Structures are given as C-alpha cells and as structure tokens.
Structure 1
Amino acid sequence: MVLPKVWGATLLASLAAAQTYPPDVVDELAKASLPKLEEWLAKNPQEGCTLETAVRRKEWSDLTVEQRKEYTDAVLCLQSKPALTSDLAPGAKSRFDDYVVIHILQTPRNHGSTFFLPWHRYYIWHYENALREECGYKGYQPYWNWDRYAKDPVNSPLFDGSEGSMGGNGAKEEHNGIPIPGAPPPYNMIPPGDGGGCVTTGPFKNMSVNVGPLAPTLNVERNPQRDGLGYNPRCLRRDVNKNAAAVTTANYTYDLITNNHEVYWFQTVMEGQFPQGKWGVHAGGHYTVSGDPAGDFYVSPGDPVFWLHHAMIDRVWWIWQIQDLETRLTQVSHTKTMNNFPPSANGTLDDLSGLGVLAEDVTVRELMSTMGGLGGKFCYIYE
C-alpha cells in the first residue's frame, strides 16, 4: 500500500500502537483508503480543515480507562443539567433527555429516508459538542467497533460493568425474547440473553430513563402520554445479547461497504431488510444492547451506548464515502418519509435537516462531508 506523506505514516503508526485488538478487515480497509482522502483534499482543499487538524474519533477500547471515565462523567454531567425541551415534552428533565425528545419527534422523518445518514451525522456531532462545551469534556465522541466484542459482548470493555465501561448488563429477568417487527419467523424474535432487568453496575447504574416507551421490547410501564413524551421515570434496562451481535461481525460490515456501490443499497442493507429476515448492522447493534430504552426504535438514544453505536454507523458511511469521494459526497437516495409512508418525493441535497429547538435547519449538502461540512464545523476522521 502507498502511504500518504509524513502525516499518513505517523497516523498509521499511532493507529497500530493504540489498538488493543488486532485490526479487522474493516479497520484495514479504512487505513488503506486514507490516501484516497488525501488525494481528494489536495484537489478540494477545505479552509481550516486538513488531515493534520482533523479530530480523531477513537474506538472505545483504544481509550485509556481514564479517558473512558472522562467521557462517561461528561454524559452524567449532561444528565444533571436542566432540559431545553420541557415545553415540548413534560418528561424531559435534562439536557441528555433533550436529545431523546428530538429523536422521538423526528424518527418518522429520519429513518428509512433520505435523512437517515446525514441527520444522524449532525445529531452525533451536536451531542459531542454539548459534552465538550457544556460539560468540559476534552475528548471526542468514541465509537463502538461491533466486531471486537461480537462473540462475547457482555464481558467486553463496553459492557463489563467496570468504571471504564458504558455500564453493565441488566440483572437477570425472565422474558420471552426481543421481537423484530416485520421480520418472518424465525427472524422475528431474538432469544433472550442473560439480562432484561435494571443495570446495577458501572457509571449508569443509578440513571433514570425519563421519557418513553413508544415501542417497548420489554414489559415496562407505559408512558402517561400517547406520544411518549410524558414523565415516566424508571431504571435503565439491558439484555446484552450475543444473538443480535452475531450479525455485526466485520465480514458483514466489509461486505456492506464493498458490495453496495449505490447509496440506496448501502443504506437499505445497513438499516435492514426485515421482510427478508435480514436485520442489518444498524438493527444488530441496537438489539445487541436491547432492553429499555435501547430496544425501543423511538427512544433508543436514552441508553448512552446509542451514541457509540451511531458513531460506528457514521464511521462505516465515512469509509464507504472514501472509496469514491467524487461521487459519494453527493449521493442521496430514498424519499423524505420513513419507508415512503406516507408517500413523499425523493429527497435531494437541497432539502433541510435540523435538530428542532436544539439546532438550526441546514441543507443535506452541508452534512455530507466530515472534512469541511456544516460550514467547516465538521472536521474529523475515524481512527
């Protein structure tokens, strides 16, 4: 492989030194693709954003325990600050809840639609920015490389319940499994794992889930409002599940990136083809955590692991884009409504996407590139 100049050799050396897991085929593809990004930037320089200045988002286990704790402390800080969306949602009690409320309100627009990938890119960046600006976090949004932990997620650095984790599994509680709406048997039910109850270990053992549920996968108390936005305090529940994790191994992600050359199929395969019994890595990651609220399609950002999962979704899109930047930085597909219900026009780069009361609407075009997008505010890559 031909390395880009000095920055490239330095970056690859730091990647090799930092990893505690051997690189998988997706990691190798990402590294091998960096010269393509450098070549594109040479032709399309971005003011104030270069490969030398770009933020490096790192995988969870490549952070030190101290760095992981700094991240979870910042999330807890966000959960302690008053909500901005309480007028919209009586159940919102914190800045963390604000992001859950926006996801609930915008789910029908931002899934199975043109906006799925660019909107979530904006959403994650804004959350990362809130952790830094409002809670003094010095790092950047980590991601969850699904493959590293797929064989035994409950004992991984992500879920082992230590102070350097994102919290443990839920206590053992009998249930019938996790239903997958729209999938045929036997793909419509994930067998139960060894959790299902309240998380009792790690940084989020005392966390309160305040809004939802709307589409619960466990038997939890219904929200006092039909829209799920009422106050419904309860514990964080998980059923960390290796059956769901089995569809997130690196071979699935590699095939997703390399075998789908149009964004329509890339996004469709990623989100899942449930009638064909194919969950996709997007659903596979969500259902690896499962529980309440992680298994709830609308309320899933209420589990702090959501943000690492969707940072990985963004990373996979980033790697896919790098394979053909001239084309893929302008490729959008699908219509403007979830699964085209109700029927709507095809989306375009000029359509607006925003975060409600949290952030202004911007064009989809502004959200396509991690190097100079959003008026130069996006300037990051994934290590």
Structure 2
Amino acid sequence: MVLLKLTHIRDRLQIAGPWYHPVPQQVQEGDNEEARLLQSMRRNTRWSLRGTLLEKVYVKSLLTLIILSLFIALSCWMGFEFLGHSETRCLTPSVRREWRTLSAADKKSYILAVKCLMDLPSIFDSQTSHFDDFTYAHITAGGSSHYAAAFLPWHRMFVHTYEQTLRQKCQYGGAQPYWNWVLDSRDLSQSPVWDSELGFGLDGGSEGDHCVEKGPFAGRRYAWRHLPEKGIAEMEPHCLSRWFRDRHSLEDAEDEVLFLKIYDRISPEYVNETLNAADYSSFFKKFEAGAHNAIPMFIRGEWLNFTATNDPVFFLHHAQVDRLWWLWQDHDPKGRLKEYFGPSENFLGEHHQNMESHSKDVLPMGGLVSDGKVEDYLSTSGGHLCYTYD
C-alpha cells in the first residue's frame, strides 16, 4: 500500500516537469511508517524543487548580469550611457582640437587616414573612391541645407559621418580636428594648415587649373564636379584646385573689396558679434553669409561651388563652423541646445515661400549613411553625438 501511494505521489510530481527525480527511500510497512515516509517525501520534494528553481534563477541572473555588463562596457567605450529607448547621455566625449595644437605624429595620422579613405572603393560608383562619395553627397543632398535653418545641423551630421568613417574604415584613432581661421585673420595664406609636410599643401597658383602641386594631396584625381545650373554632380576627374585671393592676386577694385571683406568677416570682432546673436535664426543667417563664406571666397578653386569637399581642408573648416555653433549654444545651454527655427529652404532663392523648419525635419545624407533628424544633432553630447572642443 505504501509503495502504491508513493508511486502515485511520484507520478503527480513528474507532471510538474521532467527535471524532478525523487530520491529512492527505504520503505517499511505500517501506517506510522507510511505517514513518516509521506512527510519525508514531501519535505525532500519541497527542498529539491526549491534547490532546482534557485539554481535556474541563479544561472539566468548570472547570464543576464554578464550580458548587461558587456552592454554597459560597450556603451561606455562608445562614450554613451543609455537611458532608455533612443535617449542617450554622453559620458566620455572625444575632444576635437585645433590643427596647430596637434603633435606632428597626430597630424600625420590624420593625413594618412584621409589618404586611406581616398584609396577605398566608392559605395556609389566603381570608378570613384569612398572619399569622392562625400563630395557626391554634398552636391546631391547637402545643397538644400544652404541658406536654410538646416545648414548647421546638416553639416554637423556630415562632418560626424566623415569622422566616424575615418575611424571605422581607416583606423584613425583621434577626433576630427578643426581650423580656427580667426587665429589667421591677419594673413590666411600663412596658416599652418597649408604646410606641405604637416598640412594639406599650398595653393595652386594663378596658372591653368590652379592644381595643387605640393603636399600630401598633390597629383591626386577627384571624381566629381558640380553643375550649378542643373544642381547635379557630373563625373569629371580633375586635380585639387586652389587659388588664394591674396594681395598678389588682386586684379581690380572689385577684388580689393572682396579681399577686405574676407578679412573683416573672420576678424575676432566680427565673429564675436556673430556669437552675440540673440536667436538661432539670426545666428545662422549672419554666420553662413559672413564668416563661413569668407573662407571659400579666399581659397577659390574647388571652394567656389559644392565640390569644396574635394579639399580635405573643408572638413577642418566645417569643424570650426560647428565649434562656433557649439560656443553659441554653450552661452545658454538650457535654451539653445533645443533652439531651432528659421526658413526650411533657401531664403535667398527666387521662389522662397518662407516655410518654417522643425526639429523633426529630416537631414538627407544622399545614401552615404541613413538619413538623420535635426533633433538628434542639436547637441554634441546627446542624440547620436558625443564630442566636445578644446
């Protein structure tokens, strides 16, 4: 009778799961012995179940802890703390530094990474390079951001994409440097960015196509030209061209006026006046048409249209543009890190309709990477970004 009852109990317990295996017990006949065995059986079963469940919980908890630790370690390595959903907080921002403050080794490392990008195949066209892809995207997708509210966030995302590409595909270990041209406001042609060995080479002179003949990027061919009248990119391999507008190149009174205007717009006084703009719309309009445009007017060559990205100095220039926006935001971070408004299209265009922009607006990258949203690029220490300036 005792054996029958124990078998019945065992069968009922096995229904709870195949992981239960009762421990054999020595059985004695008699009611008292039966009761004792039943109580012992229940007690052993209870502790066996508890032990098994505790083991399973422990293993699951340990695995969860390991996975979570790896996830946190990875996020910290990337510089982010994940707060939930898509919200992130920047913990260890990379620091973008001015070109002339970099060591010789750091300058060479950056230049090598850029040359590496020029040697990688395009993601768009088998006849071009991955570096050319940035010019193609600037022509086809970046044009609409100029003279519009998206000018600053679009280029912030664009330069960030370039920086990440150098890191991920060319093993560049630093941050994107910037060129503080305010420091060269007495004579742009003497800036250290034009050094032939630890810089990007000099101008191409006044003859022919103004091809750069000295420096790490002399002799290279660049795939794309811009056709402004059609607003498209056309493949036409050519040299990197620069033609500095310095005092030796001035041809007439109009050139003289432009020359003086350039140096006025990059002067400390003018830049400080720009940084004192009361709101975002006033700031970006004055900035783009003023200090930003002064540099292309000085360099000329590639810089007179959307193929300015053929020149690696473009990315140092726009890192400086981004830095000045960062400084403007930092003056009132609570308000300005979310401040974004102004025309959503070229406010200088003939058919301008005064359409207002919004932080939910899309930043098209022309297939270079997935399109972004303005709201994710308003702060350098939130959204998808994690960097600061020295």
TM-score (norm 2): 0.70
Contact 1:167–1:204, Cα closer than 8 Å, also in 2: yes
Q: How does 1:231-310 map to 2 (within 5 A)?
A: 231-242=235-246, 243=259, 244-258=262-276, 260-272=277-289, 280-291=290-301, 293-296=302-305, 298-310=306-318
Note the residue ranges of structure 2 that are not aligned, 5 or more in a row: 1-86, 247-258
Q: 1:214 aligns with which of 223, 227, 231?
A: 227
| CA distance in 1: counterparts of 2:133 and 2:354, whole angstroms | 28
Amino acid at match of 2:200: M
Q: 2:358 aligns with which of 319, 342, 348?
A: 348
Is 1:103 paired with 2:115?
no
User: What's the offset of the Cα at 1:322?
Assistant: 0.6
Which secondary structure state, in structure 1, belongs to the residue aligned with residue 141 of structure 2? helix
| CA distance in 1: counterparts of 2:108 and 2:181, whole angstroms | 20
Note the residue ranges of structure 1 that are not aligned, 5 or more in a row: 1-45, 175-195, 217-225, 273-279
Aligned to 1:122: 157
User: What is the aligned-residue RMSD (CA, Å)?
Assistant: 2.0
Which secondary structure state, in structure 1, belongs to the residue aligned with residue 234 of structure 2? coil
More helix by share: 2
Distance 1:94 1:198, change over 3 A: same
Distance 1:253 1:284, change over 3 A: same
Q: 2:90 aligns with which of 46, 49, 54?
A: 49
Which secondary structure state, in structure 2, belongs to the residue aligned with residue 211 of structure 1? strand
Distance 1:99 1:144, change over 3 A: same
| CA distance in 2: counterparts of 1:271 and 1:58, whole angstroms | 22
TM-score (norm 1): 0.71
User: What's the offset of the Cα at 1:125?
Assistant: 0.3
| CA distance in 1: counterparts of 2:352 and 2:272, whole angstroms | 33
Deviations 1:88-140 (A, max 9, x none): xx8x6011111111111123421111211111100000000001100111111
Which secondary structure state, in structure 2, belongs to the residue aligned with residue 85 of structure 1? coil
Which secondary structure state, in structure 2, belongs to the residue aligned with residue 231 of structure 1? strand
Is 1:370 paired with 2:380?
yes
| CA distance in 2: counterparts of 1:356 and 1:149, whole angstroms | 34
Is 1:167 paired with 2:201?
yes
Aligned to 2:185: 150
User: What's the offset of the Cα at 1:240?
Assistant: 2.2
Percent of aligned pairs sharing the same letter: 32
Aligned to 2:342: 334
Q: 1:141 aligns with which of 169, 176, 199?
A: 176
| CA distance in 2: counterparts of 1:210 and 1:267, whole angstroms | 31
| CA distance in 1: counterparts of 2:227 and 2:263, whole angstroms | 24
Contact 1:146–1:245, Cα closer than 8 Å, also in 2: no
Is 1:380 paired with 2:384?
no
Deviations 1:308-341 (A, max 9, x none): 1100000000000011111111211222222264
Distance 1:246 1:205, change over 3 A: farther
Contact 2:142–2:365, Cα closer than 8 Å, also in 1: no
Deviations 1:170-195 (A, max 9, x none): 13328xxxxxxxxxxxxxxxxxxxxx
Aligned to 1:311: 319
Distance 1:245 1:64, change over 3 A: farther
Q: 1:197 aligns with which of 210, 222, 233?
A: 210
Amino acid at match of 1:201: K
Aligned to 2:113: 74
| CA distance in 2: counterparts of 1:111 and 1:230, whole angstroms | 20
Distance 1:368 1:268, change over 3 A: same
User: What's the offset of the Cα at 1:68?
Assistant: 1.1
Deviations 1:182-236 (A, max 9, x none): xxxxxxxxxxxxxx711111111122121113359xxxxxxxxx55433211111
User: What's the offset of the Cα at 1:245?
Assistant: 4.2
Contact 1:108–1:337, Cα closer than 8 Å, also in 2: no
Contact 1:198–1:236, Cα closer than 8 Å, also in 2: yes
Write out the 4+ residue segments of structure 1 that deviate beyond 3 Å after TM superposition. none
Which secondary structure state, in structure 2, belongs to the residue aligned with residue 198 of structure 1? coil
| CA distance in 2: counterparts of 1:74 and 1:206, whole angstroms | 17
| CA distance in 1: counterparts of 2:184 and 2:149, whole angstroms | 30
| CA distance in 2: counterparts of 1:47 and 1:236, whole angstroms | 40
Which secondary structure state, in structure 1, belongs to the residue aligned with residue 133 of structure 2? helix
Amino acid at match of 1:102: A
